[in-house]
Chains A and B, each alone.
Chain A
Amino acid sequence: MTPRLQKPRHKSPVERTQQLPLLPSGRSRTAQGLTAAAARGEFALQVCRQCHTVQYPPRDVCSDCPSIDLVWQLVDDRGTLIAATDIAISNEVYFRERAPWRTGIVTMDCGPAVLAHLHRECRPECRVKLTLKLDRLGQGVMVALPIEDTVNMADDPLLREHSCDPKFRRMLITDGDSPVAQALAAKALQAGAELVLVGVANNWRPSAAREALGTMEGVELVPLDVTDYRSVEDLADQIGARVDILVNTAEYVRPGGSSHGRDMQRIRESMDVNYFGLARLAQCFGPAMRGRAADRANSACAWVNLLSVYALANLAPFGTFSESKAAAYSLSHALRGEMQSHGIRVINIFPGPIDDEWHQTLPAPKVAPSAVASAIIKALQDGVEDVYVGDIARDLFARWRDDPKALEREGAM
């Protein structure tokens, strides 16, 4: 049993905020395959197409036969821990500060021996399962877990360090009018979030969702309009240092493509919310979050973008929407580069069409807003980077990975 994580004490304002030391981040290009699998929450290793030997560490030539034909595929994640050590003295400040750091060698049922970080409940000679996790700087690493889930397992400092668990953390949801916001606030609180701040724009339109949020315990409404730089800046000045997880739910969804009617207004507003809105948030909230990435057990840890799977391939009936999400998707990569080197994970959520008023005319299957909210919480708890929510999103992602050109021609339905 893992000792229960205690709520971090209140920090004195004169105390120096601990900084995140660098982690070893050099990797060969081939080893980035581990990161790619970890980002999706999968356990994949290279397998030789000729002799079927499972490979580790990542390599360019099969360890068994002369083949260079190695492909990443899902493999059995189980094995036995045959040696372990508690590292007291490391050459790296990061591990020294977190000593003793526990690592061990796991012989996998599928063949290779894997050096992995160890959950405290992994004992020598015992069965374990391996997972691929992203470390604080976004590199895929091997983490061994007990073969069965145990009590308070996620409270282990190692898993806490390799996830963005909302427990004891404060979350900002940027737009309370989003159909996802209400479900997300409730699920974040259920997952142990300390406080959920929900942005509300000065909107003349009445909103039942907003009213419901206002009455939830643990939720605080804050003024925020992502299309207004001053509004974003003012809020960041007030609460920027208290945001551990930022979820940008603000989006502008309207049907129509670029050559539909003379409607630049729709195109401009789509970009203003979906692209510029994200840029304004990045400018104002990015620096404060980066500075708090190692601020005790409830440090700043994650930035979540509610994108759309149509950021990958344009859905013609929602052409303008898709374009603006593609712009935001590109921005997310730059933001990821800037945030991950400071220890903040940028998570992209790619839902298919959400079951809301603006997608009314699209056929099923559509994704319930609560399913998107659940996917966000799970992504934070698992520490993954890219999540495709719903059957349509997964189907489209599979087609995109297989052949983007074919997808372009067949259309993103």
Chain B
Amino acid sequence: MFGGRRTHRQSYDGVVVAAPVTVPYERYSIRSAQWWIGRALAEILGRCGLRKADVDGFSVASFTMGPDSAAGLTQHFGISPRWLDQTPFGGASGIIALRRAARAVQSKDADFVICIAGDTNSIHSFRQMLPKFTRFTQDAVYPYGGAGPNGSFAMLTDHYMRRFGARREDFGKLCIAQRENARRFPHALIRKPLSMDDYLSARPIASPLALFDCVMPCAGAEAFVVTRHDVAASLKLPAARLLATIERHNAFTEDPIQSRGGWAMDSDELWAMAGITSDDVDFVQTYDDYPVISMMQFEDFGFCAKGEGPDFVRQHSFTTDGSFPHNTSGGQLSGGQAGAAGGSLGLVEAIRQVTGQPIGATVAGARVGLVSGFGMINYDRGISSSAAILAGLAT
């Protein structure tokens, strides 16, 4: 929107996403972020049959690679890209990296961009990151109980439950379905069966949240390649088309507490750009560090109206063979949250599903998928939201 007029957005014609890589997660690691990102780079080069000298564009997201920036990594890794990016948007980073890289390859500023998100996790690193996460966190959040994101999402969940009548069982249903999906995904860190009793009687963390509502921080990396159709074909890479993307920061400042994300502001544009409706997607990968935010996304993307999330959950099943396949690799809640890689987990899984190369369970006939990102609890809410729609080449 400029001067009151929304300008027409160019399509992503010719842009494809390929080479989905998940470096298997570990709860704690004695390695650095550089090691995890480097391991993802090696894996993706091997997958594409390329050498370091071929690295053309490079994009990275990480909380724990400090004091390095993307520039420092190029020397450490011995690569010489002509296009370099870094996306410091937490869980929104993966899709934001994708949409920037898409325009770069479309305009031929680069032909081939490797996007990696990765973090390490030592015993104390998560706890040490929290007090200085952002300025508002430092001044106005962390001193209030030192609970990190658990405390922030506890309050959003408390408010959402009272306002829209969600029950703990509704959130439990999402968590249990994701665990079912994770049981068939070998890289998921938590694969033990989860019953509703287990969920409801779990150790309290910050009311109304209990243990299985909260992601587990871990070490790991996710990576993918953004390129043009012709380049992917020459490398013989199975690839997915990029139909549409959105990103938004600090939306709906008038809401006294977050009951919708920035997606609600932009999802109409997302569907219009993709030329499809919410009925046309075969699966959805929501950003899911806490189940309440998945429920809000069902509403914000228009699968149901605002406030109908709890009913929507009661009416659907969310396993890969369910009526609404959701977080098909187990999501972060069962897979673990490898820092910024959490923002690429769903994207990488979506590429696997629409290109027919799943590691875990397949969504039968999956051609089109929606994937979202959400990042940066700055003060009282998540600030950054993003989403993309991918489709298999055959469609």
A residues with CB within 8 A of B: 23-28, 30-31, 56-58, 63, 82-92, 94-95, 100-101, 103-105, 107, 113, 115-117, 124-125, 135, 139, 141-142
Q: What would 21 A/B residue contacts be, using CB atoms closer than 8 Å? A: A24-B146, A25-B143, A26-B131, A28-B139, A83-B159, A86-B204, A86-B206, A87-B145, A87-B154, A88-B205, A89-B204, A91-B127, A91-B146, A92-B146, A94-B146, A95-B146, A95-B147, A101-B145, A105-B159, A117-B144, A139-B143
* Least CB separation from A92: chain B residue: B146
CA distance A117 to B146 in the complex (A): 11
> Whole-angstrom distance from the CB of A67 to the nearest CB of chain B?
16
Known: A85-B155, A117-B144. A57 touches B379 (CB 8 A): yes
Q: Indicate which residue in A24, A113, A116 contacts B131 across the interface (CB closer than 8 Å).
A: A24
> Whole-angstrom distance from the CB of A103 to the nearest CB of chain B?
5
Q: Indicate the member of A82, A89, A107, A125 with the most B CB atoms within 10 Å.
A: A89
Q: Indicate which residue in B143, B145, B257 contacts A83 across the interface (CB closer than 8 Å).
A: B257
Q: Does B148 contact A (CB under 8 A)?
A: yes
- Asked whether, in the complex, the Cβ of A115 is within 8 Å of the Cβ of B146, the reply is no
> Whole-angstrom distance from the CB of B290 to the nearest CB of chain A?
12
Beyond A87-B146, A105-B257, A125-B162, 17 additional contacts (C-beta under 8 Å) are: A24-B131, A24-B142, A28-B138, A84-B158, A85-B147, A85-B155, A85-B158, A88-B204, A89-B203, A89-B204, A90-B146, A91-B148, A103-B144, A107-B256, A117-B144, A135-B143, A142-B144
> Whole-angstrom distance from the CB of A382 to the nearest CB of chain B?
20
CA distance A89 to B155 in the complex (A): 15
- Asked whether, in the complex, the Cβ of A82 is within 8 Å of the Cβ of B257, the reply is yes
Q: Indicate which residue in B132, B146, B154 contacts A85 across the interface (CB closer than 8 Å).
A: B154
Interface residues of B in 204-218 (CB under 8 A from A): 204-209
CA distance A104 to B126 in the complex (A): 23
CA distance A176 to B154 in the complex (A): 53
Residues of A within 8 A of B139 (CB): 27-28, 30-31, 57-58
CA distance A94 to B131 in the complex (A): 14
Q: What total of A-B pairs shows CB separation below 8 Å?
A: 119
* Least CB separation from A102: chain B residue: B145
- Asked whether, in the complex, the Cβ of A91 is within 8 Å of the Cβ of B130, the reply is yes
> Whole-angstrom distance from the CB of A308 to the nearest CB of chain B?
34
- Asked whether, in the complex, the Cβ of B143 is within 8 Å of the Cβ of A89, the reply is no
- Asked whether, in the complex, the Cβ of B144 is within 8 Å of the Cβ of A141, the reply is yes
Known: A83-B156, A91-B146, A103-B145. A115 touches B257 (CB 8 A): no
Q: Indicate the member of B127, B158, B257 with the most A CB atoms within 10 Å.
A: B158
Q: Indicate which residue in B126, B151, B203 contacts A87 across the interface (CB closer than 8 Å).
A: B151
* Least CB separation from B146: chain A residue: A92
* Least CB separation from B135: chain A residue: A28
- Asked whether, in the complex, the Cβ of B132 is within 8 Å of the Cβ of A26, the reply is yes
CA distance A139 to B379 in the complex (A): 18
CA distance A107 to B207 in the complex (A): 20
* Least CB separation from A23: chain B residue: B143
Q: Indicate which residue in A31, A95, A107, A139 contacts B145 across the interface (CB closer than 8 Å).
A: A95
Residues of B within 8 A of A89 (CB): 147, 150, 203-206
CA distance A83 to B163 in the complex (A): 10
- Asked whether, in the complex, the Cβ of B158 is within 8 Å of the Cβ of A83, the reply is yes
- Asked whether, in the complex, the Cβ of A90 is within 8 Å of the Cβ of B147, the reply is yes
Residues of A within 8 A of B148 (CB): 91
> Whole-angstrom distance from the CB of B255 to the nearest CB of chain A?
9
CA distance A140 to B206 in the complex (A): 24
- Asked whether, in the complex, the Cβ of A31 is within 8 Å of the Cβ of B140, the reply is yes
- Asked whether, in the complex, the Cβ of A141 is within 8 Å of the Cβ of B155, the reply is no
Residues of B within 8 A of A25 (CB): 143
* Least CB separation from A30: chain B residue: B139
Q: Does B141 contact A (CB under 8 A)?
A: yes
Residues of B within 8 A of A115 (CB): 140-141, 144, 155, 379-380
Q: Indicate the member of A28, A83, A94, A95 with the most B CB atoms within 10 Å.
A: A83
* Least CB separation from A116: chain B residue: B144
Residues of B within 8 A of A101 (CB): 145
Q: Indicate the member of B130, B151, B209 with the most A CB atoms within 10 Å.
A: B151
CA distance A63 to B159 in the complex (A): 24
* Least CB separation from B127: chain A residue: A91
Residues of B within 8 A of A83 (CB): 155-156, 158-159, 257
Residues of B within 8 A of A26 (CB): 131-132, 138
**A-B complex: 5 closest residue pairs judged by Cβ atoms:** A92-B146, A85-B154, A57-B140, A83-B159, A31-B139
> Whole-angstrom distance from the CB of B100 to the nearest CB of chain A?
26
Known: A26-B131, A85-B154. A141 touches B145 (CB 8 A): no
> Whole-angstrom distance from the CB of B14 to the nearest CB of chain A?
40
- Asked whether, in the complex, the Cβ of A56 is within 8 Å of the Cβ of B140, the reply is yes
* Least CB separation from B156: chain A residue: A83
> Whole-angstrom distance from the CB of B249 to the nearest CB of chain A?
14
